Structure 1
Amino acid sequence: MPSLMTVAGKTIADPFTQLSEYARRYGGTLTKYDLGGSSDADVLTADEVTRTRTIASRISAAESAWFVERGRSAPWSEVPADANLGDADPAEPDGLYAAAIALYEHFRAAAPKGVATAKIHKVLHLKRPALIPILDSRLAAAYAAGAVRAAHHHEYLGARRLNWAAIREDLIDDGNAQVLVEMRARLAADEHTNVQMMAQLTDLRLLDAVAWRAI
């Protein structure tokens, strides 16, 4: 019997199929965006910003230069490179979740016209791939109900990044966590190279891929 996942309130009957099909269809995304190289965790490079164009960020040359310049004063050191959204409790006003928000807000608050939610998330996910989701209007809409629920539990956050809290609930769900362990093993054992590569991604990225395919 296929494993089940719950993503943004929707039951996904066969997440392995969603992940394997994603890998086969978007192999370029895996090789160029997700696994396209590494650099200093606390330095944002032009090459990294360019990689986001693989997932249709549409970041221009001028915007890329702004990201790099803004990145020089970003509070990277407050957010460990291996930080995990599952460990970022929104109930802790001075915890990891708040630090991640501060990192995001560093870019958002000064963003020029044309640089909004999706572009910032696609860039920052590369720097903190287990912590900051790839969030565009499609996934934000899917998680809107969860964000509203989160607002009632974490009033100190106001309206800031409550969709992260909703995504986190899916990430730490016991059933989903178990399925992700199973899926990672199956991905690694698959005969298709692109599918094998999926096993190298963070749980947050796997959740994102399932959501993108299924929602």
Structure 2
Amino acid sequence: MDLKSPISVVVPSLDGPVLQVLARSEEGLSGRQIHKLAGSGSVAGVRLVLQRLAATGLVHVDDVGNSLLYRLNRKHLVAPAVEFLADLRSTFISRLADEINGWRIPPVHASVYGALARGDGDPDSDVDLLLIRPDHLDAGDVLWEDQAGRLMQTVVDLTGNPAHVFELSRTELAGHLAIEEPILNDWMRPSIQLTGLPLAALMAESGRTLVAH
């Protein structure tokens, strides 16, 4: 799945990014605004897409002064499917959180970072996950490893993207903080918490705060 534009899985043309922008906006947008937000194609190409979508009734066009403003026709039969596809990233994150919240051994903390958290990347980007296990749990615990393994398979099943899991204990996190490992910045900026204690709170318990480099 394209982590920047998930809708492109089903709509691989320029129509995909354009529809994603329209689905995320409640206000009318100009062709130039849509082009800037979509980050794809040319202004002329985006306008051609908008004209074609308007002809189907999926997009409304409002003539405001000297500008044409475009917005998704949310009453259209296809609109719910467009909105669902445009929100695949949030749906995916919710599915990951739901799975982890059902674990028999809950993590102290779980989050996603990297391309998925930033909202960029491409179809080959890894889905990066941080898992912090309880200190009383031995590394290699069979049940814990089974949970983590199934989570990695879930990522592949839901997106087609490879999963990369960085797993460590609470004490090992404190060790990373003590020597200010550069990867700490990757985990924090940005990240999306899935479950457990906030990473910032765990760092504060160790008497550390993270300064971006």
Where on the TM-score scale, by shorter chain, does this alignment land: which range? under 0.3
- More strand per residue: 1 or 2? 2
Q: Which has the higher helix share?
A: 1
Superposition TM-score, scaled by structure 1 size: 0.23
